[in-house]
Structure 1
Amino acid sequence: MSKVYQNAREALDGVKDGMTLMLGGFGLCGIPENSISELVRRGITGLTCISNNAGVDDFGIGLMLHQRQVSKMISSYVGENAEFERQLLSGELEVELIPQGSLAERCRAGGAGIPAFFTPAGYGTEVQDGKEVRDFNGKPHLLETALTADFAFVKAWKGDEAGNLVFKGTARNFNPMMAMAGKVTVAEVEELVPAGELDPNMIHTPGIFVQRIFEGVGYEKRIEKRTVTTKTEGNVT
């Protein structure tokens, strides 16, 4: 069966209220913009979203938060979203904060079929609450369980009709491991090419992990925080 869909509206068929979704990206880099826009348009609610970030107030997952579509966030860094903070402090939003490396590994483990693993990250903090602790080589480790999702939404630079994906730059962040961990993985790409056109040595995610793929449109590619330097009288400030 063909994996190619015409757009996000077709590719998101079957997404329902109360599902668990993975959304790739790091900050605003490499986020599945078209898929998020379609989720917002559909107004699906009661979602558990697994994503490194929660977007910003007017972009990314932040748009879903404003529409009260998300009931739980499983994330690593959420400090750029005032609406997220408001919902967290008011008790409207359930939040599970995870060290960034642990989040990445929990997604990778889910895709690899590994149910759980031990890591020292988070020991002695709130992250430890309710988790098994074991010593390895004299150092305490926490038991972390794998993460999977009903749907995983990822964004790649190029993809082919067989679902093989190539990520560019920082977009090669949480996208590859989340692509592995979704029961249904939807990949949106900037350029969709015929199968066989991609160099096999350059493929980051094999097509076996991708069930649906489409060529996205209108990417904004916002910069979350812009840092610049200026020159004055021969000095750099």
Structure 2
Amino acid sequence: IPAFYTPAGVGTQVAQGGLPWRHGPDGSVAVASPPKETRDFGGRAHVLEHGIITDFALVRAWRGDRHGNLVFRKAAANFNPLAAMAGRITIAEVEELAEPGELRPDDIHLPGIYVQRIVALTAEEAADKKIEKRTVRS
């Protein structure tokens, strides 16, 4: 989706423009955001928001195959597919590398068309999840 209209941000500096995009060496605003297009739908104002396109997207999947089809587990399925679709080049780490055809089509969360590189993790690397922190009550 290249762009979409949303009521979020109507009447704010996000819609009116002027937010700092880049600062100069002296701390002044070198580049400010331009005003965004607004339109009424059903009597309600909406702002045109452009989709985010990144140069690289880095995701981690539970399982994947050499074609880039990925399966995510638990909360990883919430935003990893969207992040992968936003990248011009998507690099996926997979904890388990399956052979093409082993993954059931109904289980695939992200088709391989969005993935350009696969990095198969060793068992030790797959177990090392530094971002996860276990907390328990006494």
Give yes or no for TM over 0.5. Answer: yes
1:220 alignment partner in structure 2? 130
2:115 alignment partner in structure 1? 210
Structure 1 residue 171 corresponds to structure 2 residue 76: yes
Provide the aligned C-alpha RMSD in A.
2.0
Structure 1 residue 158 corresponds to structure 2 residue 36: no
TM-score by length of 2: 0.73
Moved over 3 A (4+): none
Name whichever structure is richer in strand by fraction: 2
- Following TM superposition, by how much is the alpha carbon of 1:142 offset from its aligned partner in structure 2, in angstroms? 0.6
Name the larger-Rg structure.
2
Structure 1 residue 201 corresponds to structure 2 residue 106: yes
Name whichever structure is richer in helix by fraction: 1
1:127 alignment partner in structure 2? 14
- The whole-number CA distance in structure 2 between the counterparts of 1:215 and 1:140 is 47
Secondary structure of 2:103's counterpart equals coil
Structure 1 residue 136 corresponds to structure 2 residue 136: no
Letter in 2 for 1:124: G
Letter in 1 for 2:14: V
Identity %: 54
- Quick one: higher RCO (CA 8 Å, sep 6+), 1 or 2? 1
1:57 alignment partner in structure 2? none
Letter in 1 for 2:132: R
- The whole-number CA distance in structure 1 between the counterparts of 2:56 and 2:75 is 22
Letter in 2 for 1:137: G
Which of 181, 192, 196 is the equivalent residue of 2:97? Answer: 192
- The whole-number CA distance in structure 2 between the counterparts of 1:169 and 1:140 is 37
Secondary structure of 1:152's counterpart equals strand
2:4 alignment partner in structure 1? 117
2:87 alignment partner in structure 1? 182
Letter in 2 for 1:211: Q
- Aligned positions, number: 115
- Following TM superposition, by how much is the alpha carbon of 1:144 offset from its aligned partner in structure 2, in angstroms? 0.4
- The whole-number CA distance in structure 2 between the counterparts of 1:195 and 1:120 is 43
TM-score by length of 1: 0.45
Letter in 1 for 2:41: F
Secondary structure of 1:168's counterpart equals coil
- The whole-number CA distance in structure 2 between the counterparts of 1:163 and 1:150 is 18
Gaps of 5+ in 1: 1-108, 110-114, 231-237
Letter in 2 for 1:196: G
- Following TM superposition, by how much is the alpha carbon of 1:212 offset from its aligned partner in structure 2, in angstroms? 0.6
